[in-house]
Chains A and B, each alone.
Chain A
Amino acid sequence: MGLEIGLLAGPAIIVFVLFVIVPVFVALYYGFFSWKGYGPATDFVGLANYKWTLTNKDFWDSVLHTGLIAVLSLLFQGPLAILLALLLNQKMRGRSLIRVLIFVPYVISEAIVGIGFSLMLQDAGAVNGLLHKLGVDQTISWISSPKVAIWTLMFIITWKYIGFAVILMLAGLQGIPEELSEAAAIDGASYWQIQRHIMLPLLTPTIKIWAFLSLIGSMQLFDLVYIIWGQYIAATAGTSTMAYFMAQNGRLSGQLGRGSAIAIIVFIISLIVSLGYQRFVLNRDTEGALTDKK
């Protein structure tokens, strides 16, 4: 049996450990060096990279932005996705087409989404053009005004990822035995009563899992910001995220040692957030997968 386990699980464990776990230790090692990647790392600097990062205002701004994005994503996408999933779970014509269409943004790569939106949201772009046609005389700098930019980003994030939330909720709803709502309907419950008192509570495990995935997604948001704001100005525009800060001040500044230290810091932050979430919110649901079968 030991051999079977080894044969079956071995390859996955090897790949996983090599490319997911080992990098943590690699980062830990190089984080102690001032190293630009051109030769061997010899310039040991102790905790200097950590100190540099933790005393950098831009870093804390990026943490703040990431936190804001994480919270707002939950607040915007959660209710909207539940509502849409309840709607789309009804019998209606064209439902499958609608479901496919709503999922379209999720399937399009961040690079394409970023390029498309940057073009549309330029000062002389389609969105302002449309607003002019509708009689709005102002030209809004959707991506370059630091006051507006973070909300523009939030809109794009919501647009991009709502489809995944909806589809997950739909899957959750379909896992709820239909007999329950049918019985309630026979007992005279209204449509909304059924959704509120039967479907929603039963959907809670799905909502918790979605929220976890959404949190993790927010923690590693990079592509969209990098494509739209480029390598330098996201911090100025108020849209830099932790992963962006790491790329900008690590590899893109030629400071691989410092980038490694930032990776470790971001890793610890992610770990605290996800362990906290698992401990206080998700606890029973993930373990359920293992424990409810004997």
Chain B
Amino acid sequence: MSAITAEPKETRHYRRESKSGGWGSPIVYFVALCMIAITIAPVLYIILGGFRSNSQITTDPAAFPNPWMVENYATVLKMPLFWRMMWNSTYIALITALAVVVLGVMASFVLARYKFKGRNAMYMLFASGMMFPLAVAITPLYIMITKSPLAGTSWGVILPQIAFSLPQTIIILVPFLAAIPMEIEEAATVDGCSRLGFFGRMVIPLSMPGVITVGILSFVGSWNSYMLPLYMFASEEQYTLPRGVAMFSSNHSQDTAQVLAFTTLSMIPALIFFSIFERRIVGGLTGAVKG
């Protein structure tokens, strides 16, 4: 089929991408288009609704903007509170993602490359976290955090988020790190690297696809998280965007158009972030689901 047959394994799926020049069957396109329409219509409704006026929305709920109004977006962009929430969402998501990656890689490295008593127990400990979802733990967490010095601080959201992201992180990363051939580690040892040196120089670069995947998943998870901030944050100065959107929509619900504009603007960063890294996520998950 293809002239190139002896490519190195690692780049296999990039080769596939590059071959996607041909046209598939029309049925495929039809199904794909239907799917896209259903997927995108509600999102478009939100985005376009922000360009309409309230009376436009009331008189004809399902129509295009006529005329287009930019005022709603302009008003939201001028709100200090919006930017405050944007900042809160950003730094909380960044710290969460960074900490999840660092803690996750270190723990996964131990699980994947060290042989020691209790390794299986440790893996099961983390894996059990998958069965104890945040939604269930939220009441006791709330009790603990409000009684602790973390009360009312961003750490009351960040630390639980990190903890609850660790199971999926470790489940995704361990296969990655385990897949690094023993020979590389041995070679590194011969070159005088300690196992920690091996960790720094070889493991981190080689597990990059998995690291990016877990990083993005925890970033997006934090960005969208609603329940933790709902319980932990009492002041709107601290609100992240999902909570802010909910608050804004109940405060301004007579102003549907502006609610839609606010909503649109608050989903854009995660969308951009994700679109850039989408391909890498697929790559990262491939390593994980191979087992």
Q: Contact residues of A with B, CB < 8 Å?
A: 1-2, 4-5, 7-9, 11-13, 15-16, 18-24, 26-27, 30, 37, 84, 87-88, 90-93, 95-96, 98-105, 107-113, 115-117, 119-120, 124-130, 133, 159, 163, 167-168, 170-172, 174-175, 178, 182, 205-206, 209, 212, 216, 219-223, 227, 243, 246-247, 250-251, 256, 259-260, 262-263, 266-267, 270-271, 274-275, 285-286, 288-290, 292-294
Contact = CB atoms under 8 A, between A and B. Distances in A.
A253 B252 CA distance: 26
Given A104-B271, A167-B285, A290-B120, 9 more contacts: A84-B31, A116-B42, A126-B62, A205-B291, A216-B133, A243-B135, A246-B135, A247-B139, A290-B178
A110 B49 CA distance: 19
B263 A209 contact: no
Given A172-B289, A220-B134, A250-B139, A19 B163 contact: yes
A289 B19 contact: no
Nearest to A108: B267
Given A102-B36, A117-B42, A107 B136 contact: no
Contacts, number: 316
A138 to B, nearest CB: 16
Given A112-B46, A120-B45, A243-B135, A290 B61 contact: no
B231 A251 contact: yes
Classify the secondary structure of A's interface with B: helix
A20 B132 contact: yes
A182 B286 contact: no
A129 B164 CA distance: 42
Contacts of B170: 12
B40 A1 contact: no
B138 interface: yes
B133 A219 contact: yes
A286 B122 contact: no
A96 B17 contact: yes
B152 interface: no
Contacts of A111: 224, 226, 242-243, 245-246
A4 B195 contact: yes
Contacts of B160: 19
12 contacts: A5-B110, A15-B163, A23-B144, A95-B20, A108-B270, A109-B242, A115-B245, A120-B42, A127-B62, A129-B63, A220-B135, A293-B179
A133 to B, nearest CB: 7
Contacts of A250: 139
Contacts of A260: 139-140, 143
Given A100-B278, A116-B42, A167-B281, A12 B32 contact: no
Contacts of A266: 136
Nearest to A293: B178
B175 A159 contact: no
A129 B39 CA distance: 19
Contacts of B196: 4
Nearest to B42: A116
Contacts of A220: 133-136
B39 A101 contact: yes
Nearest to A244: B135
